[in-house]
Amino acid sequence: MSGLTFEPLPDVAGTVAEFVAGLRCLKAWSGLSYRELEKRAMLAGDALPHSTVASSLSRDRLPREEVVKAFTRACGCSPQTVDAWVARRRHLVLLAESGTASPEARRASVRGPRVTRRHLVAVGGVFAAAAVGAALTLTAMGRRRS
């Protein structure tokens, strides 16, 4: 591992910014590059693109839960420590949703579901297939009546 001699734990993270800073410390503790984290995650059966890790650690927003799980596992955390990071993330989400967090923390807290171009293309494909299916059905029904 790197210069940090102790494994960073999420217990002290009371805000989203502190949580993300803790994840940065965890990466430093692991001594792994973004690409090495991606490879370790893949070997464990997780999807963790290096670009996702880089962007997640550069913002003061909570990464998605599956990113936290894959990231902490790739860093070499024990299953109990992975669970502790996930539990702390869930706690911060609850704080933000309950309104007990500061306005800054609520704004920076949880990223909603990301809609990507791939999602839009998939939805468009579903609608197109449904329209073609409906047209073929109507055509077939019209032929039977004639």
pLDDT reported for residue 125: 57
For residue 58, how many other CB atoms are within 10 A of its CB?
A: 10
Residue 124 confidence class, pLDDT cut points 50, 70, 90: low
Of residues 145 and 97, more confidently modeled? 97
Of residues 127 and 93, more confidently modeled? 93
Q: Say how far apart CA 49 and CA 57 lie, in whole Å.
A: 13
Q: Say how far apart CA 70 and CA 78 lie, in whole Å.
A: 12
Residue 4 confidence class, pLDDT cut points 50, 70, 90: low
Q: Shortest CA distance to 26 belongs to which of 76, 60, 94?
A: 76
Bin 122: left if φ > 0, else alpha if -120 < ψ < 50, else beta.
alpha
Instruction: Give residue for tokens 């306005």.
Output: 103
At 108-120, the pLDDT tens digits run 444 444 555 555 5
At 30-87, the pLDDT tens digits run 999 999 999 999 999 999 999 999 999 999 899 999 999 999 999 999 999 999 999 9
3 state DSSP class of 90:
helix
Residue 129 confidence class, pLDDT cut points 50, 70, 90: low
For residue 53, how many other CB atoms are within 10 A of its CB?
A: 25
Q: Say how far apart CA 43 and CA 34 lie, in whole Å.
A: 14
Least confident of 24-28, 33-37, 96-100, 136-140: 136-140
Distance of CA 59 to the CA centre of its chain: 13
Cβ proximity of 54 and 10 under 8 Å: no
Residue 130 has pLDDT above 90, yes or no: no
